[in-house]
Structure 1
């Protein structure tokens, strides 16, 4: 069963760049009964390894904007490291599972709303980019780094956001520069170092189940390769709306448990 879950989620990640933490962490908690802190840590390492295979495909097709990746990482990687340090020194890693569940549910709702408003944000970004090009381009690097900081903190705490919220940020900040394929590839490339650093930090905190991780990878590696190959042909809008509805339903379920 974990391998099948890995296959399905891996395929979603390859196709849309979305679905790693936002789908896998709730699956681990709700279907497999994994402790929330362990689900977050295991999912982060799972996501970093899975997305490496997807990025290889996207890089080969020239659908990764490495300058944008560097800007995001400039904010997200230090933010992730500082969040891990705070968790270690304040013993926040030992917070009650109820807090983690609430954080995950909140992030799922934010992610679902972001996915549902993605087209509107893209239109707004395009309008600003065309109407006030010089100022918009001047602010792009700073806003991208700030977006990376937000992602670094939230992904480290919940394992959610690197894919879903990352694509929503990028579709607003780079409405002309990134087409659908480049949006997925660039977001995947940024998610790898972020998830890896956060995952290794959780490993040091004892929040990784190795047996579960290996079972997930057995399914996810072929899944993400298949998804990446068909990403330019998939009905991305339909898939995005479907995922958003599922995430909203899962969030409500988590809040009621």
Structure 2
């Protein structure tokens, strides 16, 4: 990689890490579109660009989630009981997601990514108050919810916050706690999903040098260096913002990213 590319990846990693701490989305929803742009501009095989962007993004979340959750934990906002209930389903789903993605072409995967992101943003902006008596489901329901969160997150290369945050808010978990808990869920999603992407991409023809399955290691190293440093700053900002502002910020980021991936699918 040349120095200009390193500089772009560092800047992108800083933005992704800040978003990871601020919004509890692991940074993946921010990183995938930008990594797609960079890999496309650098001549990566078109049929592998989105698959590699998703896999590389997911791998970064192993590191940003740890940095982010440490900052949220200091505020006492992480609900570890919720993490324990969702994690088993999440681990299974995150392994399945990349396998599903491998069966899809780049355009279909881009469309799926954009559709989920746009739907999540719309749900956040609706600001519909949950029923006062609604609570999180029991153990079986949480396992199933974790499976859905993990599968979709593994499929689109994100930390799952775009589903888990609205899900927890719908069940009357305070938005700041939902964001913090989502950050903690990012690690099992990223670990399982990354291993799956390595396994299913291992023998894929046409991968660039220094790829580990679908994960592009040079980009991973540079992005992680910047994102781990910035995630705690995002987490601190989140705890200073009111609920309405945090939801609007979440939705605005997601709509912008959905727009780019819709464009990429048809370009």
State the TM-score, normalized to the length of structure 1.
Answer: 0.83
Number of equivalent positions: 238
CA drift at 1:8 = 0.9
- Unmatched runs of 5 consecutive residues or more in structure 1: 130-135
Q: 1:171 aligns with which of 162, 169, 172?
A: 169
Looking at structure 1, the residues matched to 247 and 118 of structure 2 have their Cα atoms a distance apart, in angstroms, of 18
TM-score w.r.t. the length of structure 2 is: 0.80
- Judge conservation of contact 2:97–2:151 (CA < 8 Å) in 1: yes
Query: Where does residue 132 of structure 1 map in the other structure?
Result: none
Alpha-carbon distance, 1:82 to partner = 4.0
Q: Which has the higher helix share?
A: 1
Q: Which residue number in structure 1 is paired with residue 198 of structure 2?
A: 203
Residue in structure 2 matched with residue 133 of structure 1 by the alignment: none
**Post-superposition CA distance 1:161-213 (Å, at most 9, x none):** 6011110111112x1xx323321111111121111110122123210001000
Separation in structure 2 between the aligned mates of residue 60 and residue 5 of structure 1, nearest angstrom:
26
**2:32, 2:20 → 1: CA distance?**
14
Looking at structure 2, the residues matched to 161 and 219 of structure 1 have their Cα atoms a distance apart, in angstroms, of 17
Matches within 5 A, 1:1-257: 1-18=8-25, 20-33=27-40, 35-83=49-97, 86=99, 93=102, 95-117=104-126, 119-120=127-128, 123-124=129-130, 126-129=131-134, 136=135, 139-160=137-158, 162-173=160-171, 175=172, 178-204=173-199, 205=201, 206-234=213-241, 235-257=245-267
Describe the shift of the 1:245–1:155 C-alpha distance in structure 2 as closer, same or farther (beyond 3 A): closer
Unaligned runs of 5+ in 2: 1-7, 202-212
* Contact 1:4 1:219 (C-alpha < 8 Å) held by counterparts: yes
DSSP 3-state at the match of 1:63: coil
- The CA distance in 1 between the partners of 2:183 and 2:118, in whole Å, is 21
Query: Alignment RMSD, CA only?
Result: 2.2
1:32 positional shift: 4.1
